[in-house]
């Protein structure tokens, strides 16, 4: 098994190749929003560096969001097109779970988040099953942070809660106010999605179930578009 993994859902661009036992290479930047220009060259450079041609890949794993709509689409369109043209499986992985993986082994709840404007966040909640896997405690969603934190606290039942993600700094005051001494904040190296984690999560999924239909692998936006939401609201009037 040789898996190419990448994610373009946030300002982070991350690409990795891994097999069952080790990560062969990983490349990550956290400043470039123009993933359309840089993603393919990034993949090409990494594969050249580890002397791998695309036809040696056996699967592709991609972060399917949530995050920037355009960013997620660049990653997912690239992943499903590559996988389809190579005749190999493509697996979508949650970008939030990918970040949560950075803190596997933490002895409390792990809450990664992306800012979604107007006090909202894209978020989810996991806890660790020792060092081997994560268990989802609350489903991923877009929600007002002030509505989210009480639910997390209830699940925490007194345990510490680790907040992950570069956008945590935007919301730190609210988190400290509402979570108090149970709140933990991570060193910066744990805050961004890493493609090596996507590769690992993708391989886990492939072990547990059949690969999904390539055509049906699509972004997880977690909300309908604004135009569709308005239209639906008008229909219900």
Partner 1 sequence: MNEKNATRYQQRILAHYEQHQQSDRPTLILGIETSCDETSASVIKDGRVILSNIIASQADIHKRFGGVVPEVASRRHVENITLTIEESLQEAGVTLDDISAIAVTYGPGLVGALLVGVAAAKAISYARGIPLIGVHHIAGHIYANRLVTEMEFPLISLVVSGGHTELVYMDQHGSFEILGETRDDAAGEAYDKVARALSLPYPGGPHIDRLAHEGTPNVPLPRVWLEPDSYDFSFSGLKSAVLNTLHNAEQRGERIEPANLAASFQASVVEVLVEKTIRAAKAKQARQILLAGGVAANKGLREALTARCEQEGLTLIIPPLSLCTDNAAMIAAAGYISYQQGRFASLDLNGVPGLSLTEPF
- In angstroms, what is the minimal distance from the CB of 219 to partner 1? 6
The reply to whether 56 sits near partner 1 by the rule CB under 8 A is: no
Least distance in angstroms from the C-beta of 87 to partner 1: 10
Q: How far apart are CA 34 and CA 43, in angstroms?
A: 15
Alpha helices in the chain (DSSP H): 35-49, 69-86, 95-101, 145-156, 168-179, 195-208, 226-236
142 lies in the site for partner 1, by CB under 8 A: no
Residue 66 to residue 9: CA distance in whole angstroms: 7
Span interacting with partner 1, options 16-24, 91-99, 189-197, 218-226, rule CB under 8 A: 218-226
Task: Give the separation between CA 81 and CA 116, rounded to whole angstroms.
Answer: 28
- Site pattern 58..77 for partner 1 (x: CB under 8 A): -----------xx--xx-xx
Q: Which of residues 85-114 bind partner 1 (CB under 8 A)?
A: 85-86
Query: With respect to partner 1, which residue has the nearer C-beta, 129 or 229?
Result: 229
Structure tokens at 203: 């391989």
CA 203 from centroid of its chain's CA atoms: 15
**153 is a contact residue toward partner 1 (CB under 8 A):** no
Is 10 near partner 1 (CB under 8 A)?
no
- Among 205, 200, 177, CA closest to 16: 200
Decide if residue 45 touches partner 1 (CB under 8 A). yes
Helix (H) / strand (E) containing 120: strand 120-129
Closest by alpha carbon to 11, among 225, 191, 210, 229? 191
Q: Which residues bind partner 1 (CB under 8 A)?
A: 34, 36-41, 43-45, 47-48, 53-55, 69-70, 73-74, 76-82, 84-86, 214-215, 218-219, 221, 225-228, 231
């Amino acid at each position: 098994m040789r898996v190419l993994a990448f994610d373009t859902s946030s300002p982070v661009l991350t690409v990795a190749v891994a097999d069952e036992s080790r990560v062969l290479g990983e490349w990550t930047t956290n400043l470039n929003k123009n993933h359309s220009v840089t993603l393919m060259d990034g993949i090409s450079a990494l594969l050249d560096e580890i002397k791998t041609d695309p036809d040696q890949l056996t699967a592709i794993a991609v972060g399917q969001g949530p995050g920037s709509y355009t960013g997620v689409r660049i990653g997912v369109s690239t992943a499903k097109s590559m996988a389809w043209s190579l005749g190999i499986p493509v697996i979508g992985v949650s970008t939030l779970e990918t970040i949560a993986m950075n803190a596997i082994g933490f002895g409390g709840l792990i809450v990664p988040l992306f800012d979604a404007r107007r006090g909202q966040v894209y978020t989810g909640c996991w806890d660790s099953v020792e060092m081997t896997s994560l268990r989802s405690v609350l489903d991923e969603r877009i929600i007002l942070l002030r509505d989210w934190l009480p639910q997390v606290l209830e699940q925490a039942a007194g345990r510490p809660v680790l907040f992950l993600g570069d956008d945590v700094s935007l919301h730190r005051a609210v988190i400290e106010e509402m979570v108090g001494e149970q709140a933990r904040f991570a060193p910066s190296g744990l805050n961004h999605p890493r493609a090596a984690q996507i590769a690992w999560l993708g391989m886990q999924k492939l072990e547990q179930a059949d690969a999904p239909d390539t055509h049906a692998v699509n972004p997880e936006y977690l909300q309908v578009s604004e135009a569709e939401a308005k239209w639906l609201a008008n229909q219900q009037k």
